Amino acid sequence: MKRLLVTGATGYIGQAVMRTVAGASYNVHGVSRRPISPAAPNILMHKVNLLNTDSVDALFGRIRPSYLLHLAWDVSGSFYSSDTNRAWLRASKHLIDAFQKNGGRRAVMAGTCVEYDVQHGYCVEGQTPCAPQTLYGQCKHELHQYSSELSESAEFDVAWLRIFSSFGPGEANARLVPAALQALRTNNPLDVSDGSQVRDYLHVYDVAAACLAVLQSDVTGAVNICSGRPVQVADVLLHLADLFNSHHLIRWGTRPRRPTDPPFIAGSNARLLDETDWLPLFSLESGLRHVVAHATNAD
């Protein structure tokens, strides 16, 4: 059976991936700094600090995975400008080196939509230029370039996931959907901007399925992980308000727009649809209903 190593296995996207991969034909090794019980018999968890190069070398030397899905990164707090991005860039370069040196065949790595020059609007792989404006985007883009160059001189493939906005169970409480959900379901006012920003939202379970679809394909290079459906932030909030009959709680324009907040970030998912077997399970509307149901059941 093929050996797959998943980093960030207990993170927001990682947890969804581990649920999805539980029934796949891989011998799965999940990596996290937090211990967790395996989700299925074919999953073995490892408690490893990926910022420790000796621990990474020992891990890859012991497992020698053929496949790698690298999701780990620090996205807590003000991560767009945090110096921890540089530490994770160094650690990720070492990680892909260790993967290659131990016989790795295919690596799929998590990038971000903010590697693109978001002033160009609708983002298409190979057409929209990359000009990241944040340290987070710059470090991710540098890792993409490094891993791509390494793969050209060695016998392994690299696919790069440019992940756009997502929502779903496990998302950080301060993010748009969980913060709005908490306010609306508890009958509290919700202070927001005018909501005119356009984003591309995908349910985290569909993100996880896309990660595995790319892993199982022959796709190399950058591939957008997105819905392909631009939507205003206001529409997301209105869909949530519909579910609670709570439109009166949204206080539009009471929170200023950040000057650095791009007005439009959305992408084409044509490559994902054409070159893998991925199909989304959720629309925006059904995905939001799922999140509400999940939160209600968790009470």
Q: How far apart are the first and last CA of the chain?
A: 39
For position 41, what pLDDT does the model report? 76
For position 154, what pLDDT does the model report? 85
In tens, the pLDDT along 142-154 reads: 999 999 999 998 8
- Cα–Cα distance for residue pair 40/154, rounded to 1 Å: 33
Output the CA angle 206-12-71, nearest 5 degrees: 85
In tens, the pLDDT along 82-92 reads: 999 999 999 99
For position 110, what pLDDT does the model report? 98
Token representation of residue 163: 């992940």
Which domains does the chain show, CATH number per domain?
Answer: 2-166+200-229+267-275 (3.40.50.720), 172-199+230-264+284-298 (3.90.25)
In tens, the pLDDT along 31-64 reads: 998 767 666 677 899 999 999 999 999 999 999 9
CB-count burial class (<10 Å; 0-12, 13-18, 19+) for 187: exposed
For position 38, what pLDDT does the model report? 64
Which residue in 129, 222, 206 sits closest to 165, CA to CA? Answer: 206
Does the predicted model carry a pTM greater than 0.85? yes
Q: Evaluate whether 219 touches 276 at the Cβ level (below 8 Å).
A: yes
Radius of gyration for the chain, computed over Cα atoms and rounded to the nearest angstrom: 19
